[in-house]
Amino acid sequence: MPHLYIADDNLDFSEYLETVATREGWTVSLCANGAELVASLKSGTDPAFALVDINMPEMNGIEVIDEITELNRPLRVRFITGGSDSTLLAAKMIASARSLSVGRSVFKPVSKDNFVKLLVEEAEELSKLADASS
């Protein structure tokens, strides 16, 4: 199962997602901000799925894109937000323009059932990316 990285400054929300993902068989790394996420993503080469909060301290979702564009690993990204946000649209457009594989956005709160469906989708997409890169 691929690795899930959750970058969100809301610890309760991150831990909820971690619990659900772990029960579904994922390896999970929690990151309190974008800088932690970038450091974690740079330290591995296995397929990865990153859930990135748009509004975080130290390094927001758009700033994360600048740092992860050149990573040499199968990577999928979805942005998380607490509401509709023009920054979310900008982040998705920038990520896509830089050839990052970006899925639909995630809006808080996320139900367990919807998150499990999202994890299944992302596992399939990462499998395709991993096959294409090998």
pLDDT > 70: what percent of the chain? 96
Residue 17 pLDDT greater than 80, yes or no? yes
Q: Which domains does the chain have, with CATH numbers?
A: 3-133 (3.40.50.2300)
The answer to whether 23 touches 80, Cβ cutoff 8 Å, is no
pLDDT tens figures, 73-91: 899 999 998 866 677 788 8
